[in-house]
Amino acid sequence: MKPMELEKRYCPQNYRPLPVTLVRGEGAWVWDDGGRKYLDMMSAYSAVSHGHSHPRLVKVLQEQAAKLAIVSRAFHSDTLGPFLATLCARTGFEQALPMNTGAEAVETAIKAARRWGHQVKGIPEGEAEIVVARGNFHGRTTTIVGFSSEPEYRRGFGPFAPGFRAVPFGDARAMAAAVNERTCAVLVEPIQGESGIVVPPQGWLREVRQLCDERNALLVLDEIQSGLGRTGRWFAFEHERIRPDGLILGKALGGGLLPVSAFCADREVMDVFGPGSHGSTFGGNALAAAVGLEALKVLDEEKLVERSASGGAYMLERLRAMRSPALKEVRGRGLWVGVELDPARADARDVCERLAMLGVLTKETHDTVIRLAPPLVVNTTELDWALDRLQSVLDELAPRRTTRSTVAGNG
């Protein structure tokens, strides 16, 4: 029985993958079990921002694994300190708490914000609230899906934890009406990825920052997908020239090899944690710390953030020039773009399947949006190769016309 068939038999159908079995990757390219080559225009939701099997990262992984891989935080390792010091220097925060998956880092941020609200702001125990945005995607734990606005993420998984208030994403007035004396934090993504690369109005994040300052609430940003160069800056909040009180990172932090995440904040927030208050068996292990440190070095030394800025501008320019009645809107920043289709003329899943047949891999979201988020190592020749195939698929679905697509948010 083939691997794809075994997966279908023994794995619950919680994903709907394209019918491709991948066996090898290098840079922006992957190969299937038949030897066919594909350009990866998704990069595992930013987890493979460095490209597949980056030689520097693979070398560090192999060398560290041969020396020491897993050691509990009950002991020190010689890799965790250097990793956290470099991460704090890059983010500008005083401390970083290492975890594994992005959802774990979000849960860490929620715990920190609530305890800060009780111990520092003085909110009565059990009454702290966190304001979130509709359309969010912060992970899959029962706490997190409880404040999702996507019905399928929630259906049948309740009862859910209280203490969250949701407002429309990008709506400053609604945010101001929701933040009150019981609000310990505002938790949002600077750009919503799972919703289809939704960019908020210019200045919205600055308004939220000011609101949190005025009402003594923490601003916590989830940059698991948008951070570490994806938007053409190290962090998406830099586009608005603000600084959050807490920063959640993951995905690219593991260099495409391991799950590595972290919650970053200053000591005023981190001091709420003491021995026994929070932990993880694998969080901050020696192997993850070594790979995470090298991942940060590669981003910096190989100028992948700058490549995301220039490559993203080029990709958006090409998409802006496309003409098709099936194309409704293009939006994004850096190498992170959502192509929204007119559902009356094209189905995003169908487009992704057609692209796969042409050697381009990506994924739809919400039935109408195609995500284009290649590894940051991608070059313009490779982008042209993929975008030419996207244009050909759109041409198959509907003849070209002279009107241009609407483009938003590449500032």
In a 10 Å sphere around its CB, with 0-12 CB exposed, 13-18 middle and 19+ buried, how is residue 399 labelled?
A: exposed
List Cβ neighbours of 225 (8 Å cut-off, separation of 6 or more): 45, 46, 189, 193, 251, 336
User: Of 329, 314, 282, nearest to 378 (Cα)?
Assistant: 314
Q: How many CA atoms lie within 13 A of 252 on its CB side?
A: 33
Cross-strand bridge partners of residue 129: 183
Structure tokens at 345: 């003329």
Rg (CA), the chain: 21
Which of the residues are catalytic? Answer: 137, 222, 251
366 with 352: CB under 8 angstroms? no
Of 35, 4, 17, nearest in space to 362 by CA: 17
Residue pair 336/193 in contact by the 8 Å Cβ criterion: yes
